[in-house]
Amino acid sequence: MFKKILVPTDGSSQAALAASTAAQLAKSQGAQVIGVYVIDPFPYIGIGDASAVGLQAYLTEAKAAAGQALDAVGKVCAAEGVAFAGDTIERNVVYEGILETAAAEGCDLVVMGSHGRQGIKALILGSVAQKVLTHAKLPVLIVKS
């Protein structure tokens, strides 16, 4: 039924739980897991050398975090004997990056974790999972902790 399962990750425990669920599902379906980590662009646009140094430090740290998060998903997939490929992308809007990756990779399912924010926190912070659910043209499985 599913051949390519997209697992967005931010390195959180919710993302790890989603990766485990996706790997188990992929194993049962003979599917591949595609991991994606979306980096927010550098939040400050300044003038001069300090801006360039800040940008480089930000990107270095963000790419290291992305590598660790994707490695964790890869290890979960390897433990299940499931094929895995990971990618790091940079987008202004995280949910759009997730959906663009799903389309570009030909994924037929997104499995992602949710922080489960409620009330005013959900209203103020929004939810990437909610936005993916709202805008996706493919099935989305939300894994809650």
CATH code for position 129 = 3.40.50.620
Number of C-beta neighbours around residue 143 at 10 A? 19
Cα 4–83–108 angle (5° rounding)? 5
* Average pLDDT value for residue range 108-113: 97
Instruction: Provide the number of structural domains found in the chain.
Output: 1
* Each residue's pLDDT tens digit, 25-46: 999 999 999 999 999 876 666 5
- Taking CA atoms, 81 is separated from 23, 85, 98, in Å, by 8, 13, 24
For residue 46, what pLDDT is reported?
A: 59
Which SS3 state, helix, strand or coil, does residue 54 take?
A: helix
H or E stretch including 120?
helix 119-125
Quote the CA–CA distance of 133 and 1 in Å, as a whole number.
20
Is the distance from CB of 7 to CB of 19 less than 8 angstroms? yes
* Average pLDDT value for residue range 4-12: 96
* Average pLDDT value for residue range 88-117: 92
For residue 58, what pLDDT is reported?
A: 84
Give the structural domain span for 30: 4-144
H or E stretch including 143?
strand 140-144
Among 92-96, 97-101, 123-127, 129-133, name the most confident range.
97-101
* Each residue's pLDDT tens digit, 41-99: 766 665 555 566 677 888 899 999 999 999 999 999 999 999 999 999 999 899 999 99
